[in-house]
Amino acid sequence: MSYFLPAEYVEQPRSFSHDAHRDGEPYWAPWRLAESGRFQHYVYMWAASLTRRQGVRSVLDVGCGPATKLGRWIAPHGVDITCLDQRTALDVARERVPGATLVECDLEWPPETLGRTFDLIICADVLEHLLDPDPVMQLIRASSHASTTILLSTPERRRERGRACMRSDKPEHVREWADDEFRLYVESRGLRVTRQRMLPKADEPLLAGRRGERAFRAGRADRSPWACQAMLCRVAGAEGRP
């Protein structure tokens, strides 16, 4: 099975993504909840902009976590929200997106279908955690109609860890893609990429990292502060679907 990574890339041997109890405290301790509100900040800002501009009525968040950013950026638009994640995350998400449909599952083994489609599907920094991300990609396709917008994000390996990096030092990340590798993977799984952006990992000001990103693109820096890659997609051939 190809994930379009270099032959010398070393993947983690197992998934380490379950939210249980660590060090005697609940996984979603107050400090971790606060941190969760910072990361993928610009991804969810983008999702909120799409919700406004496209008149989105329904949103699926695959791997929603505690839904901190859904509650901040998406719920105020009054849309129909469905959250997909493990129980410990959904127990917290219930407080942040009251009225949302909560679907409990192990993302290594998600359902093949949710029995419906959505206008916007978000999968933010999830795929790198999975031993096999293909079932989630299949669910995303099955949950899309002809006009569904799909917003994916994942760390960009070269910008995050250096151009020569061939493994993640974060045990929760099974694999990390560079931007061209991730695009090849996504398109090989039946999606058509319409736009790809590099963004800050967290909520630091965009202007603060622009010079570093320019230096990386020019080959003057080995890393960039814009280490989150986000892309908009549609299901390939969806234009001809009913």
- For 50-57, the CB contacts below 8 A with 24+ separation are 50/120, 50/149, 50/151, 50/232, 51/77, 51/79, 51/120, 52/77, 54/119, 54/120, 54/149, 56/119, 56/120, 56/149, 57/119
88-103 tens-digit pLDDT: 999 999 999 999 999 9
pTM exceeds 0.75, yes or no: yes
pLDDT at 81: 98
Q: Check pLDDT > 80 for residue 1.
A: no
Alpha helices in the chain (DSSP H): 30-36, 41-54, 68-69, 87-96, 134-142, 157-161, 179-188, 206-217
**CB neighbours of 56 closer than 8 A, spacing ≥ 6?**
50, 77, 79, 119, 120, 149
Which residue is listed with tokens 């603060």? 208
Mean pLDDT score across all residues of the chain: 94
- Give the Cα separation of 208 and 230 in Å (integer): 19
Amino acid of residue 131: L
125-143 tens-digit pLDDT: 999 999 999 999 999 999 9
Has domain 37-240 been given CATH number 3.40.50.150?
Answer: yes
**Segments making up each domain of the chain, as ranges:** 37-240
Q: 242: pLDDT confidence band, cut at 50, 70 and 90?
A: very low
